[in-house]
Amino acid sequence: MSAGLFAVILAFSAPAFAQDAGGGAAPAPATPPLASVLPPNAPPTFADLAEKQLDAVVFISTTQAPPPGGPQAGPRGPELPGFPPGSPFEEFFREFRDRQRGQPQQQQQPAPRPTAALGSGFIIDPAGFVVTNSHVVSEAAEISVTMHDGTKLPAKLVGVDGPTDLAVLKVDSKKPLVSAPWGDSEALRVGDWVVAIGNPFGLGGSVTAGILSARQRDIQQGPYDDYLQTDASINRGNSGGPLYNLNGEVIGINTAIYSPTGGSVGIGFAIPSSVARPVVEQLRDHGQVRRGWLGVQVQSVTPDIAESLGMQEPAGALVTSVSPEGPAGKGGVRQGDVITRFNGESIEQMRELPRVVAATKIGSAVPLELVREGKAETVTVTVGELEPQEQVALSGSSGTPRPETTIDTKQVLGLTLSQLTPGLRDSFSINPDVEGVVVTEVGDASAASERGIEAGDVIVEAGQEPVKTPEDLNRLVDDARSQGRKTVLMLLSRDGDLRYVPMPIEDRKG
């Protein structure tokens, strides 16, 4: 790490003066008392909270074996006292020391040693259970937990959960341990005070304060994203540390920051306690997490899709495929249904459904409300258990194969379409069980191109009716146009995955 990448910036300001009537300098007005500048109901200090909770927050360090065949190093000199391995301070001051000794930095060959990671955590049980982020302890050969008083203890990994980025550790201590109580993140309001305690840059217990800036943030880190956003300063090393309410209760686990600079810019994210607590309890008790499973693939309902389906508002989760032997398939859920409520909980956005289903008790029979062909219906499903192999990753197109040249095609909505032939199946690697019409060409700058349709996609349905030929699609588009629709909802298959695409209906010309 070069010195230019790490700097301590001090802000200085000269005494302010105002000119009096005679041209002389007069002292600026005195700083108003603290009570007059704090917002109403603001706590005058966070000292009581910090004093009680600092002992519950720990510093976590991990080591990994050095890669084989690493560079051979010359003498390193003595280790720098006071800075943990891997700390930016350690590297910064080592470079300064080497320059003072006249040793060019480019000639230094650091000795291979175990890589180190630094993070935070907090004790949730006096028996020695510690919570942190899974990315702090992933692939660690050794894990150490350092208490606020400097006591360093080896830690055992009890369990990790990648989808929520949570991990539970266990330490054995001869001294009594202070634990942090859980709080209710759902009771927290945007604008409420929050306090973060952690280990930024390996400095040890640091306390920062701010407010809850937003809720339910989706930062595209996993299927269960539901983050709290805060402007309390969170930096590297804060990962896994607690976010408190003013009662000294953990309402979040700091896990990520948004920063173009690598430091805090006032946008930090924490896993809410409503999500973390049940996961942590399962990891502590069983070493793993069991989640509910419905057996459907879903996508968001956009305004265009809602209009295509005759819905008043774009809400719910649109079912793109159903596993026939899954809970939803056995319960009567169909492709094209829009799930609006699950077990009494409203589904306003698609991403809410996986989180709600995952948290439902396995084996329980729950009502599922949906919209089917414009009508509200209710079915009952028995929640299954999600298995790792059932988490199928979406894959994109690997390219655009050249289609056959001796095929009959038809132009519909800027798409060149053809019936499926054995040759086209081979050219575009289309599964034998997929039926519909294949897209052989997409017009440049067309609405279809803007919506991500590619050559090789297969149109399976339009307007929730099957499509067997290009003429079928043309007829269904005309039907939608005659009904005053602005879009027609098409179901596309790509690499075996299904998704709905609302296509604008262009007026016929000529």
**Is residue 165 annotated as part of the catalytic site, yes or no?**
yes
Query: Residue 11: what pLDDT?
Result: 28
Answering whether pTM is above 0.85, one says no
Query: Residue 468: what pLDDT?
Result: 87
Cβ 255 vs Cβ 239: under 8 Å: yes
Cβ 479 vs Cβ 463: under 8 Å: yes
Query: Given 61, 87, 120, 135, which residue is catalytic?
Result: 135
pLDDT digits (tens, 9 = 90+) for 129-168: 999 999 898 878 899 999 998 899 999 999 999 888 999 9
* CATH, range 185-285: 2.40.10.10
Amino acid identity, position 260:
P
**Is residue 135 annotated as part of the catalytic site, yes or no?**
yes
**Is residue 231 annotated as part of the catalytic site, yes or no?**
no
Residue 153: its H or E element: strand 152-154
Query: Given 239, 264, 418, 427, which residue is catalytic?
Result: 239
In this prediction, residues 235-241 reach a mean pLDDT of 89
User: Would you list the DSSP string of 248-299?
Assistant: S-EEEEEEEE--SSSS--S-EEEEEHHHHHHHHHHHHHHSS---EE--EEEE
Residue 137: its H or E element: helix 134-137
DSSP type of residue 494 = E
Residues forming CATH 2.30.42.10 domain(s) in the chain: 292-387, 410-504
Does the domain at 51-67+84-102+112-170 match CATH 2.40.10.120? Answer given as yes
Residue 369: its H or E element: strand 365-372
Cβ 121 vs Cβ 130: under 8 Å: yes
Residues 6+ apart with CB under 8 A from 14: none
Query: Is the pLDDT reported for residue 40 higher than 70?
Result: no
Q: Residue for token digits 């301590």?
A: 8
Return the CATH superfamily for domain 410-504: PDZ domain (2.30.42.10)
Query: Given 165, 225, 226, 231, which residue is catalytic?
Result: 165
Residues forming CATH 2.40.10.10 domain(s) in the chain: 185-285
pLDDT digits (tens, 9 = 90+) for 370-427: 999 888 999 999 999 887 544 333 223 333 333 333 345 678 887 888 888 776 777 6
Class of domain 292-387: mainly beta
- Top mean pLDDT of 33-47, 238-252, 480-494 is at 238-252
Give the lowest-confidence range in 125-134, 204-213, 258-267, 473-482: 258-267
pLDDT digits (tens, 9 = 90+) for 56-99: 999 999 887 555 544 433 333 333 334 444 444 444 445 544 55
Residues forming CATH 2.40.10.120 domain(s) in the chain: 51-67+84-102+112-170
